[in-house]
Amino acid sequence: MPKVAATTAEKIKRPHLEIKGDTLLSGEIKISGAKNSALVLMTASLLTDEVIILKNIPDLTDISGMEEILVSMGVTVRRTANEISLQGANLNHSNPPYELVNGLRASFFCIGPLLGRLGQAKIPLPGGCRIGARPVIEHIKGLKALGALVNVEHGVVKASVPGISRRLNGAQVVLDCPSVGATETVLMAAVLANGITTIENAAQEPEVQDLAAMLNVMGARVKGAGGPKITIEGVDRLNGCNYTVIPDRIEAGTFLIAAAITRSSITVAPVMPEHLSVVLKKLKDCGCSLEIKKNTIKIIPGEICSVDITTQPFPGFPTDLQAPFMALLTTAKGTSVVTEKIYENRMQHVAELQRMGASIRLQGSTAVIEGVPQLSAAPVTGGDLRSTAAMVLASLAARGTSQVEGLQHLDRGYSSIETKLNNVGAHILRNE
């Protein structure tokens, strides 16, 4: 039988969220552990033969993907509700298979700890992704500075440490850009190296600070994480540890924006407000009141007016909240300008927001948004994790019922998003 193109009705049968918009939210949303921290902390288990117990692990497909990669290399993994125990006592190889690595960019994080502990690693190059090319040249330059031999052959990064001891040597590493991944790779490679390593122009993101804090609990000697220069004094071995992952600042930010776009008051907890400083400032600038306590934030939106946003490395405005914040600005009074400075192709949500009635002019990586009084529901598709989140937020505010596709992206980074939102009054149905 010749294949026929799927009809529109069949297409909409793809997994999607059905979201009834224009509803007020109220109550408290519990924030999960940070995906980007949890992923890298999991790879740090490769640095020791002792047990690592990580608490506050979010229930996400990316976490399951990383679990599979670690298991494929011989790590013993036990997972309960939001806790994971990892033991790399019997690592049997240092080259995770392409099928597992493909699609989970964070899998490249394994290269640093594998080189530090075993002196060798072969990791398939993470591909580009929809939001941009996402090179790993800074990771490779850093590892080379520590004495590794690194070649890229047939799409695989092959790295090894020459010499009998197979031990890396501390060195000065100056990153060309403050890459989060490169900082974490060099940090994990350097903790078991011989001597002192410095990372200059280091990423200052909270996830880097979280990794350094956990490595120190394991017996590493890391100073300065959270600032532009990190100093690592190599040690001979690391021990196991019990460690709790920080709350996810991007998830918390997404729910605060959900409150603002629906003009509803909600509380998010637990959070570390200092991880969200610029986002909170922008929420205030556009008309929201905030009650900030030690680890909770209550948002009380007023009339929402325009504000300009430029994404920057931490402590600047996070690129991962650019799409969700743009959804909010489509409903703000006045003209806002959003400029994306981290990724070259992170504006895919613009066309989908336009389908919901948003008025946006796109010039390269700059979007000029004229707020409209209300969005209207439509079937929309998110092209990546955060643009799908932006579609969910726009749908919560829109008049009518929207269908949001792209759940394969959403489930990578948001744990039970529809349950969390329904618990505070949203009407979201998952159709698989």
Binding site for ligand UD1 (CB under 6 A): 36, 39, 106, 132, 134-139, 177, 179-182, 203, 207, 319-320, 342-343
Min dist. Cβ of residue 88 to ligand UD1 (A):
20
Nearest to 340 by CA among 314, 360, 370, 320: 320
**Cα separation of 239 and 217, whole Å?**
8
Task: CB nearer to ligand UD1: give 157 or 342.
Answer: 342
Tokens of 227: 């600032």
Report how far apart, in Å, the C-alpha atoms of 65 and of each of 58, 94, 112 are.
Answer: 13, 17, 18
Nearest distance, CB of residue 103 and ligand UD1, angstroms? 13
Return the residue nearest ligand UD1 (CB atom).
Answer: 181
Helix (H, G, I), strand (E, B) or coil at 108: helix
CA 357 vs CA 313, 354, 394, 395: distances in Å: 31, 5, 10, 11
The smaller minimum CB distance to ligand UD1, of residues 319 and 330, is found at 319
Which residues carry out catalysis?
129
Residue 6 or 137: which CB sits closer to ligand UD1? Answer: 137
- Burial (CB < 10 A; 0-12, 13-18, 19+), residue 3, is exposed
Which residue number, 225 or 342, has a Cβ lying nearer to ligand UD1? Answer: 342
Q: What is the DSSP letter of 135?
A: -
- Sign of the CA dihedral with 63 first, then 65, 66, and 70 last: positive
CA 288/CA 307 separation, integer angstroms: 12
CB nearer ligand UD1, residue 224 or residue 379: 224
Tokens of 124: 């398939």
Minimum distance of ligand UD1 from residue 134's CB (angstroms): 5
Number of Cβ within a 10 Å radius of residue 248: 28
Q: Sort strands 196-200 and 172-174 into parallel, antiparallel or unpaired.
A: parallel
Q: Smallest distance, Å, CB 99 to ligand UD1?
A: 20
Cβ 172 to ligand UD1, closest distance in Å?
18
Rounded alpha-carbon distances, angstroms, from residue 339 to 30, 204, 369, 403: 30, 21, 11, 28
Toward ligand UD1, which CB reaches closer, 148 or 182? 182
Least distance to ligand UD1, CB of residue 186, Å: 11
Q: What is the phi/psi pair of residue 229, to 5°?
A: -130, 120
Query: How far apart are the C-alpha atoms of 389 and 416, rounded to whole Å?
Result: 12
Nearest CB to ligand UD1, comparing residues 135 and 425:
135
Nearest to 322 by CA among 380, 284, 356, 282: 282
CB 328 within 8 A of CB 392: no
- State the nearest-atom distance from the C-beta of 432 to ligand UD1, in Å: 26
Q: Nearest approach, Cβ of 31 to ligand UD1 (angstroms)?
A: 16
Q: Which amino acid is at 166?
A: R
Evaluated on CA atoms 43, 44, 47, 51, the torsion sign reads negative
Q: Give the residue with the Cβ less far from ligand UD1, 180 or 353.
A: 180
Q: How far apart are CB 130 and ligand UD1 at their closest, in Å?
A: 12
Question: Between residues 167 and 386, which has the closer beta carbon with respect to ligand UD1?
Answer: 386
Angle at 205 between CA 272 and CA 386, to 5 degrees: 80
Contact 128, 118 (CB under 8 A): no
